């Protein structure tokens, strides 16, 4: 990464910081759809704390009875059982790590690692072990907490795991099941969708619903229970077979039809649908998301007066102090036992970190970057350039920018939604951290100004390319720079 200095600061903005309108998310009690497996009724579908962007402290008060209380919180660096590592497994990890490091530093083709897979399996390395290690590393539960294993995760997950599952002829990729379970256990997410559907039956009664990216079919089951005339659950992965069984076991086969395939390739048994429901959001809102698929379904099947749920998504930006992590994980590469390995540092800084940020690290205000209206937007609107102005709330240092998103369902009787921000209850999306090359010394009241450009990657539209231009003209720091990031 070779940041380009922008001395003219053409993209700096002097406009006042945008403030999102403050809204309250709540529900009236309704026992009609009380799930017998839950301990109490949810009366407010929001995970926003008192000082979160979308709520006033006076509006929330002390009676926080939101869906987030069902959330069994966990840390990104939580404990996880690590399988026994035999000598061959150590060799496997070492070889893969070496190849990955070579790829980073010297451009050796990563495909070499794929060739080694059947050879290593031939030596007797347990396929289950490789899967477990891949998942553990992906979740940040690093063996020995070494950053090298963080780099290794991309090798295992992105380049080996799929081949391994195919080689071993597993019917369903393990990581898919783990991911689905993590999303279902995210009660901020799942309970909000459940409340949107159960508390707004007037939207679903006798309506035809399309569930885009149905997964286990949980949203389809909610819709069927809320009185939908029929639900078409479309899922392109092998999970569609499981979803059919789940629908059958729960007695909704006459209401829910599971269709296996891509939205762009299948044909629905009906010409139009009344509602499209989908949980399409990815990390950073747009990474590995299904937004374009939802928009395709909207344009092809949704009636003119139809509803898309959710229908609004907003991306925000703030700045944090994070000296300890940056020093330990990124600056480490500047001097490794007396040797310069900064080429790895540059690589690591270009890849945003998905992790949970402590709200006490926040140094500035939070800036609204982009709001997308899913019911009206065009596919190209997901690529944009937005200015920002982050004003320091105290004297501190800035090591990184943090992005997160909010989702709202505006068609409900009462406005409903949730936030993935650091001031709100944790979700599986966490936040996205973009480390800056410089450490910015900022004083209270001073503003870090600039712009963020977000585009779909040309080779893979599910990947995201990010460019940030920023400048600070402060009493103790003068800086102007451009940095590039890529989410792969």
Question: Is 139 known to be catalytic?
Answer: no
The HSE-up count of residue 77 (CA atoms within 13 Å, CB side) is: 12
Q: Could you say which of 44, 235, 279, 321 is catalytic?
A: 279
SS (H, E, C) the chain: CCCECCCCCCCCCCCCCCCCCCCCCCCCCCCCCCCCCCCCCCCECCCECCCCCCCCHHHHCCCCCEHHHHCCCCCCCCCCCCCCCCHHHHHHHHHHHHHHHHHHHHCCCCHHHHHHHHHHHHCCCCHHHHHHHHHHHHCCCCHHHCHHHHHHHHHHHHHHHHHHHHHHCCCCCHHHHHHHHHHHHCHHHHHHHHHHHHCCHHHHCCCEEEEECCCCCHHHHHHHHCCCCEEEEEECCCHHHHHHHHHHHCCCCCCEEEEECCCCCCCCCCCCEEEEEECCCECCECCCCCHHHHHHHHHHHEEEEEEEECCEEEEEEEEECCHHHHHHHHHHHHCECCECCHHHHHHHHHCCEEECCCHHHECECCEEEEEEECCCCCHHHHCEEEEEEEEECCCEEEEEEEEEEEEEECCCCCCEEEECCCCECCCCCCEEEEEEEEEEEECCCCEEEEEEEEEECCCCCCCEEEEEEEEEECCCCEEEEEEEEEEC
Q: Could you say which of 288, 351, 393, 437 is catalytic?
A: 288
- CA 187 from centroid of its chain's CA atoms: 15
Question: Is 331 known to be catalytic?
Answer: no
Catalytic residues: 279, 288
């Amino acid at each position: 990464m070779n940041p380009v200095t922008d001395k003219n600061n053409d993209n700096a903005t002097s406009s006042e910081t945008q403030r999102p309108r403050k809204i309250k998310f709540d529900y009236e009690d309704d026992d009609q759809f009380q799930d017998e497996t839950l301990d109490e009724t949810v009366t407010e579908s929001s995970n926003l704390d008192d000082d979160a962007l979308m709520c006033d402290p006076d509006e929330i008060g002390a009676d926080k009875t939101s869906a987030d209380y069902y959330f069994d919180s966990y840390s990104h660096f939580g404990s996880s059982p690590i399988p026994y590592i035999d000598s061959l497994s150590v060799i496997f990890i070492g070889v893969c790590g070496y190849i990955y490091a070579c790829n980073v530093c010297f451009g050796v083709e990563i495909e070499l690692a794929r060739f080694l897979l059947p050879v290593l399996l031939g030596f007797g390395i347990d396929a289950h072990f490789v899967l477990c290690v891949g998942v553990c590393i992906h979740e940040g539960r690093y063996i020995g907490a070494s950053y090298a294993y963080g780099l290794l995760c991309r090798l295992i997950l992105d380049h080996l795991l799929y081949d391994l599952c195919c080689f071993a002829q597993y019917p369903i990729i393990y990581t898919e099941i783990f991911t689905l379970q993590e999303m279902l256990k995210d009660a901020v997410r799942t309970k909000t969708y459940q409340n949107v559907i159960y508390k707004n039956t007037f939207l679903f009664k006798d309506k035809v619903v399309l569930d885009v990216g149905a997964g286990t079919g949980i949203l389809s089951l909610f819709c069927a229970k809320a009185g939908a005339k029929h639900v078409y659950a479309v899922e392109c992965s092998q999970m569609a077979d499981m979803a059919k069984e789940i629908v059958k076991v729960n007695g909704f086969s006459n209401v829910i039809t599971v269709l296996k395939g891509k939205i762009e390739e299948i044909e629905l048994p009906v010409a139009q649908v009344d509602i499209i429901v989908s949980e399409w959001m990815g990390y950073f809102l747009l990474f590995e998301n299904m937004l374009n698929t939802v928009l395709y379904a909207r344009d092809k099947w949704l009636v003119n007066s139809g509803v898309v749920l959710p229908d609004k998504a907003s991306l925000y930006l703030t700045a944090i102090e994070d000296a300890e992590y940056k020093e330990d994980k990124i600056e480490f590469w500047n001097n490794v036992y007396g040797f310069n390995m900064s080429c790895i540092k540059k690589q690591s800084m270009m890849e945003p970190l998905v992790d949970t940020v402590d709200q006490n690290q926040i140094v500035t205000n939070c800036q609204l970057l982009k709001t997308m209206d899913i019911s009206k937007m065009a596919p190209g609107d997901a690529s944009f350039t937005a200015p920002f102005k982050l004003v320091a709330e105290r004297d501190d240092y800035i090591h990184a920018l943090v992005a997160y998103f909010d989702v709202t369902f505006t068609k409900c009787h009462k406005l409903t939604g949730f936030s993935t921000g650091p001031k709100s209850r944790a979700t599986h999306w966490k936040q996205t951290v973009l480390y800056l090359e410089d450490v910015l010394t900022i004083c209270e009241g001073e503003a870090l100004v600039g712009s963020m450009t977000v585009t779909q990657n040309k080779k893979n539209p599910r990947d995201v390319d990010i460019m940030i231009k920023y400048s600070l003209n402060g009493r103790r720091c003068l800086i102007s720079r451009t940095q590039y990031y890529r989410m792969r």
